[in-house]
């Protein structure tokens, strides 16, 4: 029988690890959700490398629970890569490495790097984490359905939820206790950026098509 971790790695598109690209699984439920992901990506481009929200997010997945979004650190996987794996096997022996590999793949990244930093031959910068964040499309759209500019407002709500959950993921990666206060503050900062840069953003034909300019003064 295939191990869970082997199956999980098959689900991860390695081309998105360490980039601001993500596997989009929410647009199947609402085709304009991809606009929300792209809006967060635009925001990411203004942030320093260590603060980029989507850098270690592999997947934005749908959620059925009656909450806006969810991040669960147990869905994280450390992507060690072939070079690190080879050096770990040489350092500890192949049998020991294979025995503990699965545990290392699911340790908090900050803890893993702390444990491995005593081995100079292992390049810690090559170890990435792959996080999944979950977004409830219906819950994010619910407040705006039937109102003017519903799509534009829903897109902003979905994007804010992505920022919220990605902040939790980043905190866990950095060994910081993830709190709602920090995630809400990140949402607020994101929305401030959106409204401050609205004149530039509405030049994007996709945002213009959904009436983004109509929410320039807020909901």
The CATH number given to 4-80+127-215 is: 3.40.390
Please, which pLDDT band fits residue 6 given cuts at 50, 70 and 90?
Answer: low
Please, which pLDDT band fits residue 126 given cuts at 50, 70 and 90?
Answer: confident
- Arithmetic mean of pLDDT over the chain: 85
Q: How far apart are CA 173 and CA 166, in angstroms?
A: 10
Which residues face 176 on adjacent strands?
none
- The mean pLDDT of 129-148, rounded to a whole number, is 90
Domain boundaries of the chain, sorted by first residue = 4-80+127-215
Cα dihedral: 35, 36, 38, 42 (round 10): 130
β pairing state of 128-135 and 77-79:
antiparallel
Check residue 44 and give its pLDDT. Answer: 95
Please, which pLDDT band fits residue 99 given cuts at 50, 70 and 90?
Answer: confident
Please, which pLDDT band fits residue 109 given cuts at 50, 70 and 90?
Answer: confident
Map residue 107 onto helix, strand or coil.
Answer: coil
């Amino acid at each position: 029988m295939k191990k869970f971790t082997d199956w999980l790695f098959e689900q991860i598109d390695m081309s998105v690890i360490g980039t601001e690209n993500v596997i989009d699984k929410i647009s199947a439920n609402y085709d304009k959700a991809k606009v929300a992901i792209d809006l967060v990506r635009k925001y990411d481009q203004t942030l320093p490398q260590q603060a980029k929200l989507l850098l270690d997010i592999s997947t934005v997945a749908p959620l059925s629970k009656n909450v806006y979004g969810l991040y669960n650190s147990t869905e994280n996987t450390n992507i060690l890569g072939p070079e690190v794996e080879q050096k770990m096997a040489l350092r500890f022996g192949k049998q020991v490495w294979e025995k503990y590999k699965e545990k290392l793949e699911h340790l908090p990244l900050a803890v893993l790097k702390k444990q491995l930093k005593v081995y100079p031959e292992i390049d810690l910068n090559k170890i990435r984490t792959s996080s999944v964040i979950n977004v409830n499309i219906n819950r994010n759209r619910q407040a705006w359905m039937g109102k003017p500019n519903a799509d534009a407002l829903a897109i902003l709500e979905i994007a804010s939820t992505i920022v919220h959950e990605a902040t939790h993921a980043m905190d866990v990666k950095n060994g910081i206790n993830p709190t709602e206060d920090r995630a809400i503050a990140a949402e607020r900062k994101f929305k401030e950026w959106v409204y401050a840069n609205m004149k530039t953003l509405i030049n994007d034909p996709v945002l213009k098509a959904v009436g983004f300019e109509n929410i320039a003064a807020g909901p």
